Each structure stands twice: as C-alpha cells, then as structure tokens.
C-alpha cells in the first residue's frame, strides 16, 4: 500500500474516465487512496484504473451509465464490494451541449438532468447507506459555476448543477451528525477533452476566446488544479468544513 495522507482510504470517482474525473482519480491515488473509477466507457475506466494501480494502490474500473437509479446502484455496489467499502465519493459525472434553449428537445433536457443531477443523487444514496452504517465518510460533488450564476446556451445544465449545489448544502446539514462531510467544487472553464473539441469547432472557438478574456487570470484551469481542491475536501485538512461551495475559476465567478 502506498503511503500518503489518504493511505488506506477508499474512493469512488464517477465520470472518472477522462478530464477532471481522471485527474481526481490519479491525484487521490497519488495521496495513497485506493480508487474505483466509474464511467460509461469500458476502455476509459480500464485505462484509468491501470494508471491508478501504477501509483501503488488499488485501481478498480467499473463501467456504468450513471443516468438511472438501477445502473448507479449496480455500479456503486460493484465499486464498494471491490474496494471493501467507500470512505470518499466524488460525484463528478456530467454532460451537456451548448445549444439555444428553444432548439432543445425534452429528451435532451431529461438526459442532462438524469446525468448531472439524478446521477449524483442516486450515487450519493448508495454511498451514504454504507457511510452512515460504518461511522462516516466524505462526499465531494463537482458541480459548475453555471449552477451558481447561469450560462447562456446551458440553461438546463445550469439548473441541474444548481440542484447539485442545493443537494450538497441540504445533505451536509442532515448528515453532519452522522459524521459525513459533504462539500461542492464548482470548476470554471477547464482544459479537458471536451473544451479541446469545442475549441477546434469554428462555431464554438470564438465563444471560448471571449470567455477566456473574461477570466481575470486570463487562462482556463488545468484538470489537476480542480483535483487538488477536491483532494483538500477529501482530506483531514478540511475535517471541520461541510456544506461549502467553492468556485475554482481563476476569478471568473466571485460569489
């Protein structure tokens, strides 16, 4: 077992196949945690699980479509059984497109809400059942600044992430006496595969350039910078912190 401040602890990271989720999984592993990665694409979760294992801890890959209650319970149960328990849950799974509200279908809205809000609710339920029975734990929800201030072209996504923020605060109050801390990280624009794809698309490139100019630090975040904040909330350094929402956005959002 690797040493480190999280040695011996067991983490589940949803949406861990790439981007921020992958960075979180690898950072927690580097701090000594065993990590189960949940995402829909088998190839991605297996690759990240191998990268986690290369850090001297257990890496588990679980393929699951985290948009339904049944799939979340199956995936979370598989992760818990493989790890032997869940000390930390990072709800990172998310998905959206940037499109005008009046051009979006109800099916699209439902999928955005299912993945971004319901997925977090369902995975949290499974984790809390174990944590409460076994003396506590930590949950970190990865939402978005869109959920705090709104974003044009992402209305329903913003609503779903706003729901994740409210879920964080409400459950933090309810679960504090059960020794479960729950906090929320809201990334601003981050250098992920999705951003790279959008930057290569002329329809989105100019919007991204304008967005970067609005960031006081004049750059987007690196996934590792988000992962470091998630790790802080997972660690004992934040042992007296719960129910908090922290933007990591280079100053783009100051609330």
Give the active site residues.
Answer: 157
CA distances (Å), 140 to each of 3, 51, 87, in order?
A: 22, 22, 11
Q: Which residues contact 219 (CB under 8 A, 6 or more apart)?
A: 212, 250
Residue with tokens 């970190």: 140
Angle between helix 19-30 and 42-53 (nearest 10): 20
155, two tokens = 């209305």
Q: Helical H runs in the chain?
A: 19-30, 42-53, 69-83, 106-113, 119-133, 146-149, 155-175, 193-199, 202-214, 223-234
């Amino acid at each position: 077992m690797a040493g480190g401040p999280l040695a011996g602890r067991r983490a589940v990271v949803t949406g861990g196949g790439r981007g921020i989720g992958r960075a979180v999984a690898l950072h927690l592993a580097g701090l000594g945690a065993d990590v189960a990665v949940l995402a829909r694409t088998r190839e991605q979760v297996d690759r990240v699980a191998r990268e986690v294992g290369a850090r001297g801890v257990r890496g588990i890959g679980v393929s699951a479509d985290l948009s339904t209650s049944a799939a979340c319970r199956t995936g979370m149960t598989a992760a818990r059984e493989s790890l032997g328990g869940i000390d930390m849950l990072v709800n990172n799974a998310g998905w959206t497109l940037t499109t005008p509200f009046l051009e979006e279908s109800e099916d699209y809205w439902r999928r955005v809400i299912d993945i971004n809000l319901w997925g977090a609710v369902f995975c949290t339920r499974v984790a809390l059942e174990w944590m409460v029975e076994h003396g506590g734990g930590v949950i970190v929800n990865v939402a978005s600044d869109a959920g705090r201030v709104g974003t044009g072209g992402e209305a329903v996504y913003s609503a779903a992430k706003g729901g994740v923020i409210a879920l964080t605060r409400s459950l933090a109050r309810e679960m504090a006496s059960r020794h479960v801390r729950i906090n929320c990280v809201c990334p601003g624009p981050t250098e992920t595969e999705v951003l790279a794809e959008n930057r290569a698309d002329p329809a989105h490139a100019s919007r991204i350039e304008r967005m970067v100019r609005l960031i006081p630090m004049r750059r987007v975040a690196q996934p590792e910078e988000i992962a470091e904040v998630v790790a802080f909330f997972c660690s004992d350094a934040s042992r007296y912190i719960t129910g908090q929402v922290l933007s990591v956005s280079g100053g783009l959002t100051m609330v």
